[in-house]
């Protein structure tokens, strides 16, 4: 079925606007707590560069954990399969900031999308790059074909001042030998990556390589080989929404990733990427309206990976 995506997006967007906006903006990062909670943007981009958006789709927001996908993609391509000795690919079934399984698992995080896994990825970035912050911005700007992508220093600082749990996790993994660099440097890089700001329009374009077997569709350059893109999509499906990954798959049926800034990116391989932003989060830390929107979107288009 080839849906009229633009029509479906406008219909679902208008319908969701009429419904109560449930959830809470997270209050543990003061710079994010003050965001206007009824912001709502959606942007669709496909492999033929058709792109359209609704609402606040050109407004920047904190991409938070969505940045974990960019970091993983870069590190996986640089390091290859030995990456999986330091981080696993299993769903954790636990909240994103949980320390619960780390001791039993000898400091090996369950997957790269929980905080522990992303901290290991940041540690590797510090090991393999001279200037990891600059490298990641360059990587993302190339994907988005847009240089107007930056860290928000205030968000990064405010997160660093409140990063007691992430710091504990990082030190704990260091005690198992799975963090090689200084924990303070790892936390600094992690908080900066979380603070990157992008619009829904930039996000949906920059994720197209995962819809296109690892290649940027605009110029056919390889970001990742097909096998690696396939595997990242698989981890997104099983781990992209922490202990709500099963629910997202059940309701939406696409690989995707959320962030506590209220963003969600979802991918239909061989077809499109869609980014949604709405800051109020459900109790599992995923955007309430973002999930509602995507559930209705895939139901009406009749297309999922299943
Ligand atoms: O580590 C943290 O607490 C966050 N700044 C990033 C977490 C995040 O976005 C998890 N998402 N749902």
CATH number of the domain enclosing 103: 3.40.710.10
Query: Alpha-carbon distance 304 to 255, whole Å?
Result: 9
> Are residues 264 and 302 in contact, defined by beta-carbon separation less than 8 angstroms?
no
- The answer to whether residue 96 sits within a structural domain is yes
Residue with tokens 């058709």: 50
Distance of CA 12 to the CA centre of its chain: 23
134 C-alpha to ligand 1 centroid (Å): 21
Binding residues for substrate: 65, 115, 159, 166, 190, 242, 260
Query: pLDDT for 149-199, tens place per residue?
Result: 999 999 999 999 999 999 999 999 999 999 999 999 999 999 999 999 999
Q: Give the lowest-confidence range in 1-5, 168-172, 204-208.
A: 1-5
Q: How many CA atoms lie within 13 A of 204 on its CB side?
A: 26
Q: Which residue is closest in CA terms to ligand 1's atom 7?
A: 65
Atom of ligand 1 nearest to the CA of 260: 9
pLDDT at 31: 85
pLDDT at 63: 98
- The answer to whether residue 231 sits within a structural domain is yes
258: pLDDT strictly greater than 70: yes
Structural domain for 208, as ranges: 5-301
pLDDT at 280: 97
- The answer to whether residue 165 sits within a structural domain is yes
Place 49 in a pLDDT band, splitting at 50, 70 and 90.
confident
289: pLDDT strictly greater than 80: yes
300 C-alpha to ligand 1 centroid (Å): 30
- The answer to whether residue 306 sits within a structural domain is no
159 C-alpha to ligand 1 centroid (Å): 10
Query: pLDDT for 10-39, tens place per residue?
Result: 999 999 999 999 999 999 888 889 999 999
208: pLDDT strictly greater than 60: yes
pLDDT at 2: 62
pLDDT at 37: 95
Query: Alpha-carbon distance 25 to 13, whole Å?
Result: 20
Query: pLDDT for 266-280, tens place per residue?
Result: 999 999 999 999 999
Average pLDDT over residues 212-241: 98
> Are residues 213 and 231 in contact, defined by beta-carbon separation less than 8 angstroms?
no
Atom of ligand 1 nearest to the CA of 66: 9
- 194, 236, 285: which to mutate for ligand 1, most atoms within 8 A of CB? 194
Domain count, the chain: 1
- Around ligand 1, the residues with Cβ closer than 6 Å are 64-65, 96-97, 115, 159, 166, 194, 258-260, 285
Query: Alpha-carbon distance 165 to 140, whole Å?
Result: 27
Alpha helix (H) residue ranges in the chain: 5-17, 30-33, 67-79, 115-128, 132-144, 153-161, 164-175, 183-194, 200-206, 208-211, 226-239, 245-251, 288-301
């Amino acid at each position: 079925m080839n849906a009229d995506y633009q029509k479906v997006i406008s219909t679902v967007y208008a319908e969701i606007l009429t419904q109560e906006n449930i959830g809470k903006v997270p209050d543990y990062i003061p710079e994010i707590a003050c965001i206007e909670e009824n912001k709502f943007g959606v942007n669709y981009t496909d492999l033929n560069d058709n792109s359209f958006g609704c609402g606040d789709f050109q407004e920047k927001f904190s991409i938070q954990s969505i940045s974990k996908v960019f970091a993983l993609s870069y590190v996986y391509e640089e390091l290859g399969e030995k990456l999986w000795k330091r981080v696993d690919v299993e769903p954790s079934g636990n909240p994103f900031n949980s320390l619960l399984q780390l001791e039993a698992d000898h400091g090996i995080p369950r997957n790269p999308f929980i905080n522990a896994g992303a901290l290991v990825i940041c540690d590797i970035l510090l090991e393999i790059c001279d200037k990891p912050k600059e490298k990641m911005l360059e990587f993302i700007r190339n994907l988005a074909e847009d240089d107007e992508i930056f860290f928000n220093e205030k968000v990064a600082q405010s997160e660093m001042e409140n990063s007691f749990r992430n710091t504990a996790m990082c030190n704990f993994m260091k005690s198992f030998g799975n963090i090689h660099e200084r924990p303070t440097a790892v936390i600094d890089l992690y908080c900066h990556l979380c603070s990157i700001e992008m619009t829904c329009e930039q996000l949906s374009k920059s994720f197209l390589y995962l819809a296109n077997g690892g290649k940027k569709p605009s110029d056919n350059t390889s970001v990742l080989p097909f096998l690696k893109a396939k595997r990242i999509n698989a981890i997104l499906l099983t781990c992209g929404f922490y202990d709500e990954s099963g629910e997202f798959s059940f309701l939406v049926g696409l690989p995707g990733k959320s962030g506590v800034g209220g963003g969600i990116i979802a991918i239909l391989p061989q077809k499109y990427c869609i980014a949604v932003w709405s800051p109020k989060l459900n109790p599992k830390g995923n955007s309430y309206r973002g999930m509602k929107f995507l559930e209705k979107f895939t139901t009406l288009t009749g297309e999922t990976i299943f």
